[in-house]
Structure 1
Amino acid sequence: MKGKILLISQNFYPELGSAANRMKQLYKQFEKAGYQPLIVTTEPSYPNHALFEDRTYFDDSELNALEGYRIIRIRMHCQKQHTDLFHRLLYYIELMIRVRIYLKKLGNYENVYVTSPNIFLAWATLFFKRNQKAKYFLEIRDLWPDSFVSLKKIKIKFSLPLLKWLEKQMYLKADDIVVNNPYFQTYINTMLGKNNEMIYLPNAISKEELVSTEKAETFSVVYTGNIGYAQDVEQLIAIARGLNHKNIHMTAIIYGVQANRFREAVRQEGMRYIHLVPPMKRDECLKAISKHHVSLSILEPSEVFMNVMPGKIVDSICSGTPVVSNIGGYTGELINAQQLGFAKAGASTDEILDYIEQIKNNPDLLEHIINTTKNLRDKQFIWENNFPKLTGKLRGV
């Protein structure tokens, strides 16, 4: 066996969403590479607690056997998925304290890998390090506090200078930084006034997850995953309304704090071409994406959200499905430059609908984009190909 590595993450198997899947894949890749990973996380509750009560989503026997042994779940009093952001803040603070206390009980690890968001886990791990001999890896999947401020649901501007200082200290305390989006490296280095190399490890698909499902006979659009505060639910409703008017089928496999707003609009307006589907397991979701002809990703039009790389976009590329999005930044450039679909920062509903119709009416264009997504997937978005970038930096190789 190689060195021991401690993983710290709010989200993990069997939860839904790209964050939990990413940490599951990291855990499994570490094991395959001969390391001894242990993860400290929470009880599954995303998108909600009720989804995991009957253990249907606990479908990985290898991971199930490690529960309580190398998968440690911290019990919380506050709710992770509370609709009120102030109560979520209380949850983050409680989690930070409990993780801090738990870390004092653990022995020394050669490598410590903490992922953010949420930012409080990084603070609990990197500030006042107990194990000075370990190498500390900080993974950045989102920019905080910028993204939190952009939600516009809670006012924290009075404390923003302190939060930005704490953010900077977090970057300085890390021995290595892992990013899932090249833009984050530019942002962090600008803040630090340095030109540090970072480990670019994008969300990806494992070889065992690869699907080759044929497209459905009827042209259709799919939206999967979270409709939270970062997603523009009103534009998503407008797109659904436009697709329904054009008699174009759309499947919505959704959850999140604003998902009911979308469901209610579909039902109240009688959008018979819009099909509402409950959340599903990742393998089922990837198959569903691969059957459709277009995949949507619609975010709030703020600078922070325009520069992220949503997991649903990577899943769409990996499933051979063209992407249509109102995103900009690196991800938007990637989509357009590699001919993966259409992306434009702040794209209007009409622009999005026009492009979807263009693909629908041009089978040759659709086939070309499907091929380019698969080619890029094989080059950039396979876990087994990218993982050595990280293992090469670990101690105890």
Structure 2
Amino acid sequence: MKKLNIFFLSDNFPPERNAAATRVSERGVYWVEAGHELTVLTSAPNAPEGKIYSGYKNKWFQKEQFFGIKVFRVKTFITANEGFVLRILDFLSYMVMSFVAGLFLVRAKHDFIISTSPQFFTAISAWALAKVKRKPFIFELGDLWPESIRAVGAMKSSWVLDQIEKVELFLYRQSTAVIALTDDFKANLIHRGISAEKIFVVKNGVDLRRHKPEPKDVEILRELDIEQKFVVSYIGTMGAAHDLIRVVKAAKALQDEGDKKVAFLFVGAGAELQLIKSFANENSLKNVVFVAPQSKERIGLYWNLSDVALVHLKDSETFRSVIPSKMFEAMGYGKPIVMVAPHGEASDILKKTMTGWHLGDYDEQSFVRILKRLSNDPDEVAQVGKASLESSKLFTRERQANEFIAALLSVK
């Protein structure tokens, strides 16, 4: 197999912990191990809180190595992952700075310039660099943006969003290829006039070398005061797309019924964190625990505390096409999944692999009932957990890395 030299633009990269940072880095390590070269151009780590991580500075230019990946960081406008206008300024600053830096960093040896979404300002920079440097431009489609902006209500339909959508379609058309994370994303693009021949589907996955089941850490259970509890965990970004206020309302309903067995564990940060924290405090919820975002080295401790993993998305047609990456991580840890989401590709995977329970009706009482039932049926939970762990072998990060390279080679 030909060895490729890839130049990759991603606004997020470790030690950030969001889906894009994890996907780009874990997959990239497999590329490097296979003999490919990878350069990532990113920003100073700050997401989602908008605070520079310890050991880093928001400098004009920084260089480091990450498990064989060459990483360059540029200075950007820093803000928390909330507030539409400030976030757009953040995205625009990365677009400009990555383009300027890329003019000096992209070499003749690079075979491809690739960008990843959700936000596509990164793709604008990659497209412009590809034009100047005469390289193939690959658009990795991680989310349908700006459609998702409408879905979460961050911005109402307007002339501005219409113009942004025109730019989105322009970038798809200008790309040498689009690598989509879901079949529904591909169908969406075809419906909007993008050639099917240039769209490849490479679904997300989990790095089984990093994510694996271990016994519960008794000390952490004791520290969080959830010993002897049936732990329902939500681990990851807490944004508008996840509608987690419904989860803490279910926690209140359980507490009001006198349930003392189920505990909800939230690990992470995001735009909706303060909202759900305030609800929990105002209602004196004893069955809800919040834990700050954890490093990749420690996040497994909290996955392994879980009895079931919660995947929750807002009730919107847009999210039918989304496959949350956390469902694959849950599989890696052998955790059964309770999914509250629109019927779509993610729920189809859940049903096909028999790795959990899907609630598509968004009925609070149905949600409460299934959690109470599972908390009293350890055998069913254990059986589905085994199916979940076995299914993780179908969705490995290594498989994703290989399929991505195969797609690149087919268009080279």
Give the one of 355, 362, 369 matched to 1:354: 369
Give per-residue Cα distances to partners, 1:47-75, cap 9 Å, x unaligned.
224461256xxxxxxx95469x9211110
Give me the whole-angstrom Cα distance separating, in 2, the residues matched to 1:352 and 1:278. Answer: 25
Distance in 2, matches of 1:128 and 1:263, equals 43
- Deviations along 1:98-140, whole A, 9 cap, x unmatched? 2222222232321112101221111222257335643322111
Any unmatched runs of 5+ in structure 2? 57-62, 217-226
In structure 2, do the counterparts of structure 1 residues 30 and 128 end up closer, same or farther at CA, with 3 Å as the change threshold? closer
What amino acid is aligned across from residue 352 of structure 1 in structure 2? F
Match of 1:372 among 357, 363, 387: 387
1:193-204 alignment runs, 5 A limit: 194-196=195-197, 198-204=199-205
Q: TM-score, normalised by structure 1?
A: 0.89
Cα contact 1:324–1:342 (8 A) shared by 2: yes
Counterparts of 1:158-307 in structure 2 under 5 Å? Answer: 158-192=159-193, 194-196=195-197, 198-214=199-215, 218-245=229-256, 246-247=259-260, 248-307=262-321
Residue 316 (structure 1) aligns with:
330
Structure 1 residues 65-76: aligned runs within 5 Å: 65=65, 70-76=70-76
Q: Could you tell me which residue of structure 1 aligns to residue 220 of structure 2?
A: none
Give the conservation status (yes or no) of the 8 Å contact 1:325–1:344. Answer: yes
* Pair 1:81-2:80 in alignment: yes
Q: How many Å separate the matches in 2 of 1:79 and 1:52?
A: 12
**Does the 8 Å CA contact 1:325/1:347 hold for their aligned counterparts?**
no
Distance 1:116 1:82, change over 3 A: closer
What is the alpha-carbon distance in structure 2 between the residues aligned to residue 334 and residue 136 of structure 1? Answer: 30
- Say what the alpha-carbon RMSD is for the aligned residues: 2.5
In the alignment, the residues of structure 2 paired with residue 17 and residue 366 of structure 1 have an alpha-carbon distance, to the nearest angstrom, of 28
Residues 346 and 299 of structure 1, relative CA distance in 2, 3 Å threshold:
farther
Q: Is the 8 A contact 1:116 1:140 kept in 2?
A: yes
Q: Which stretch shifts more, 208-217 or 177-186?
A: 208-217
Aligned counterparts of 2:80 and 2:229: Cα–Cα separation in 1: 36
User: What SS does structure 2 have at the residue aligned with 1:202?
Assistant: coil
Cα distance between partner residues in 2 of 1:51 and 1:359: 40
Percent identical across equivalent pairs? Answer: 18
Q: Is 1:330 aligned with 2:345?
A: yes
Q: Alignment partner of 1:44: what SS?
A: coil
Amino acid corresponding to residue 202 of structure 1 in structure 2? K
Residue identity opposite 1:103 in structure 2: G
- Greater CA drift, 4-13 or 266-275: 266-275
Distance 1:66 1:131 in 2: 28
Q: Report the secondary structure of 1:262's partner residue.
A: helix
The change in CA–CA distance for 1:99 and 1:255 in structure 2 (over 3 A counts) is: same
Residues 234-263 of structure 1, C-alpha deviation per residue, up to 9 Å, x if partnerless?
A: 212212223434221221113112101212
2:406 aligned partner, one-letter code = G
1:27 Cα deviation (Å)? 2.1
| Inter-CA distance 211–64: structure 2 relative to 1 (3 Å threshold) | farther
Equivalent position of 1:343 in the other structure: 358
Q: Which AA in structure 1 matches 2:94?
A: L
- Paired residues of 1:211 and 1:287 also in contact (CA < 8 A): no
* Residues 2-40 of structure 1, C-alpha deviations (whole Å, 9 max, x = no match): 331101001101102222111111221221111111111
1:119 corresponds to: 120
Query: Structure 1 residues 7-16 or 108-117, which shifts more?
Result: 108-117
> Deviation of residue 45 (structure 1)?
0.5
User: Are the structure 2 counterparts of residues 256 and 306 from structure 1 closer, same or farther at C-alpha, using a change threshold of 3 Å?
Assistant: same
- Please say if residues 122 and 170 of structure 1, whose CA atoms lie closer than 8 Å, have aligned partners that are also in contact: yes
Match of 2:223 in 1: none
The worse-fitting range, judged by mean Cα deviation, of 230-239 and 199-208 is 199-208
Q: Assess if the C-alpha contact under 8 Å between 2:359 and 2:367 holds in 1.
A: no
Q: Classify the secondary structure of the residue corresponding to 1:334.
A: helix
Q: 1:71 to 1:132 in 2, by over 3 A?
A: closer
Task: Give the Cα separation in 2 of the matches to 1:306 and 1:240.
Answer: 25
Distance in 2 (alpha carbons) for counterparts of 1:3 and 1:387: 13
The amino acid across from 2:158 in the alignment is K
Tell me the distance in 2 between the aligned counterparts of 1:128 and 1:65.
23
Q: CA–CA distance in 1 between the matches of 2:321 and 2:407? A: 27
Instruction: Please say which of residues 85-94 and 238-247 is displaced more in the overlay.
Output: 238-247
Q: Output the amino acid matched with 1:372.
A: A
391 and 162 in structure 1: CA distance in 2 versus 1, 3 angstrom threshold? same
